[in-house]
Amino acid sequence: MSISLELRYPKLRSSGYLLTSPKTPNYNCVAWAAGETNRPWWPISYDTAPYYWPLGEQDDESLEVFIECFKSLGYEICDDENFEEGFEKVAIYIDEEGLPSHMARQLVGKKQWTSKCGDLEDISHPHLVALEGNPGYGKVSCILKRKIN
């Protein structure tokens, strides 16, 4: 149980979740969704380590830029969050301004999702809705999937 998390994401408590890491600023949700844990990923216009974006320096942090990023990693847009054997999925949340606020990744071979919540802990959660709302990360706007090799 994490009071910090439950205050910021009130739906977590009823949805259920498990803490799976300690707090750390070393990586963020996008890096975690992509499988990295050593640097934060975010599209920013300042070319400054440790911040990283696979498509290079960006001054646009729109949903399209995030979709493009994950397409470059082999993902394609799909219809829903339902578990599909042989695929891994990621979800992009957007805030009230329509800008990406969070990403989650479906655990391979499971129906659970995993999220790195800012600089707080990693968690596993059964449903994407657990992090939706305000306070929260807004709403899920896009699901992408790729085949597992």
Partner 1 sequence: MPTIQTFPANYTNSEDLLNLQARFNELSQKWEQETCGFSSISKKITNLNYLKIIALGKIIVPFILESLQTKPDHWFLALKALTDEDPTQPGDDFDQAVEAWLNWGKRKGFIC
Q: How many residues line the site for partner 1 (CB under 8 A)?
A: 35
CA–CA separation, 55 and 120 (whole Å)? 26
Nearer to partner 1, 1 or 49 (CB): 49
Segment near partner 1 (CB under 8 A), from 20-28, 81-89, 122-130, 138-146? 20-28
Measured over the CA atoms of residue 92, residue 75, residue 108 and residue 36, the dihedral's sign is: negative
What contacts 127, CB < 8 A, 6 or more positions away?
15, 113
Which of 17, 28, 105, 122 is in the footprint of partner 1 by CB under 8 A? 28
Which of 101, 113, 125, 143 is in the footprint of partner 1 by CB under 8 A? 101
Residue 82: CB atoms within 10 Å? 10
Q: Does 129 bind partner 1 (CB under 8 A)?
A: no
The answer, yes or no, to whether the previous bond of 135 is cis (omega within 30 of 0) is: yes
**Smallest distance from partner 1 to CB 45, Å:** 9
Which of 11, 19, 21, 61 is in the footprint of partner 1 by CB under 8 A? 61
Residue 53: CB atoms within 10 Å? 18
Residues near partner 1 (CB under 8 A) are 4-5, 8-9, 23, 25-30, 38-40, 42, 44, 46-52, 61, 99-103, 116-120, 137
